[in-house]
Amino acid sequence: MEIASAQAMFDLGEKIGSQLRAGDLILLNGPLGAGKTVLVQGIGAALGFTDVTSPTFVISRIHKGPLPLIHVDTYRLLEGGKAALYLDDLDLDSARESAVTVIEWGGAESARLSDERLEIDIDRTDEERVVTWRPIGARWTELKL
């Protein structure tokens, strides 16, 4: 799917967010500036949050509401080469079942959190983005994009 603007990326996030439920895990990958956080802002908007910002420096933010949003950015964890250990330190398993979890830079370390997840890749060439997704597990067969 081609995305031509930040607003279109936000709108895609809202469409995804409107279909989410507790326990869902989404892994986002793409280069710096691809639009990962804008996509999460759209997801957050669908869940009722207007204050979603990049958690790059704090690693993780939990937005509390009827369906909480756990927003994680593992970019800084990957730099140290011990992302799996640091991800365990975040203790995502304890809160994840009652929330939606979105992990930016969600590679193999993050994939081990659930056998059912939505993996989204954003490829950026100039101003246009190409978004591809891989639904993993039966949960995602009903996703409509």
11-55 pLDDT per residue, tens: 999 999 999 999 999 999 999 889 999 999 999 999 999 989 876
Domain membership of residue 144 (yes or no) is no
pTM (2 d.p.): 0.87
Checking DSSP bridges between strand 69-73 and strand 100-104, what pairing results, if any? parallel
Domain membership of residue 16 (yes or no) is yes
Give the count of domains, the chain.
1
Q: With pLDDT > 70 as the criterion, what percentage of the chain qualifies?
A: 81
Contact 17, 50 (CB under 8 A): no
Domain membership of residue 134 as a residue range: 2-138
Domain membership of residue 145 (yes or no) is no
